[in-house]
Copies of this chain bind each other. A is one copy, B any other.
């Protein structure tokens, strides 16, 4: 028997309808926030990904040599392809660009809970705006992409952090460039590392001062609002130059938080410098979204993550372009929404089921089928001649709102009998007016009748 590959999914209609519902709500949220949809190729040159992420990425890719001798890979993410598209036209397009996409990404990794070899991801990115207004807009869109399904601030939280502030603080301790990124790499793992191991990894950077640094980090991770950030970081600025830079950055924090609060999103935001994002290319505000358990504790894998990456497009050989973006995956999101009762069971039903007699009645009935479908009404009928009893059972099973009955008696009078399968009400209509009548009955129903009219 044929099996699909491990980590890939078949979508039977019910699963496909659920996935499409997810995509539709995501698209609507992105469009309401002024984002435009784009798309990129599924297959790309391999070096597009290695140039961004280094040769290590290859071990996680579905990559191969194509029949023309090209080294190619199934996309593991959209950003490099997006950089190509934006880079090629950034000079001519009005900015800011606000673009979104929902597409399949592929990673060759061990399939596990919440991680498959193929998954879909919503990506939203804003290009051309360096100020915190773009960060606020992006975070607002990420929140809407979850909130539109029903979850509230009791269900999830945006952990908002800032690599710029971290880099300024590390600079004040004498660490810049690669060393600073190395320290951030340790902080990124703190939640999963025992204290002793964390201290060990900090030794190359801080030597005997590692315990002091660790204590400062613990304080930083406990800061929960802008005034606390100001008190701590201004209190640790060793000179006027760094102090001015920190003050400038704190002003951007204020703008970001004020924008989010003004849009009514304050309750979804938690200042939390524990988030630094693993990838080296992030340059400013970064965030991850986590679900909250009933007692308010963070739970599970991140539902979404993103941040500012102002240098990536330039690094890939295109004009330097300020950028912020986030990604949100379908697997973790579906689990979360189902857990919170926010993904309804999606079953697509016809509007109308047409019950057909033979001969002239079938001809008249099929004419109605054609007319109803041309008018956009979802219409089903039996593909072969079967008895009325069976047809009524099929009509009921189909979940249709209305049954249209075209028997010999009706056909002789060019009539159609319409039955409301919810109320049981029935009326007769002229076949020539079927579309208008059915539209009205679908809107308003047919009142119950004691005996068929």
Contact = CB atoms under 8 A, between A and B. Distances in A.
A364 B397 CA distance: 52
- Copies of this subunit: 2
Contact of A48 (B2, B12, B42, B106): B2
Nearest to A369: B263
15 contacts: A5-B45, A9-B41, A32-B378, A34-B380, A43-B106, A62-B64, A96-B383, A134-B383, A136-B383, A144-B374, A259-B366, A262-B366, A263-B370, A264-B370, A264-B374
A378 B27 CA distance: 12
A17 interface: yes
A211 interface: no
B85 A32 contact: no
A394 to B, nearest CB: 9
Nearest to A262: B366
Given A10-B85, A137-B383, A45 B2 contact: yes
B5 A397 contact: no
A19 B121 CA distance: 19
Nearest to A137: B383
A351 to B, nearest CB: 9
A118 B42 contact: yes
A353 B71 CA distance: 46
B34 A350 contact: yes
A194 B47 CA distance: 48
Contact of A17 (B37, B40, B382): B37
A73 B115 CA distance: 22
Interface band, chain A: 35 or more
B66 A38 contact: no
Interface string A59-80: 1001011111010101000001
A16 B39 contact: yes
Interface string A119-150: 00000001001010110110010001000000
A84 B4 contact: yes
A279 to B, nearest CB: 19
A43 B8 contact: yes
Shortest 4 CB-CB contacts between residues of A and residues of B: A64-B64, A263-B370, A262-B366, A133-B383
Contact of A5 (B38, B44, B108): B44
A45 B1 CA distance: 12
A136 B32 CA distance: 41
B41 A367 contact: no
Interface in A239-293: 258-259, 262-265
A344 interface: no
A28 interface: yes
Contacts of A259: 366
Contacts of A129: 383-384
Contacts of A371: 264
A363 interface: yes
Contacts of A364: 262
Interface in A18-46: 19-20, 28, 31-34, 36-45
A31 B378 contact: yes
B70 A5 contact: yes
Interface string A372-394: 01101111101110000000000
A373 to B, nearest CB: 4
Contact of A32 (B81, B126, B376, B397): B376
Contacts of A302: none
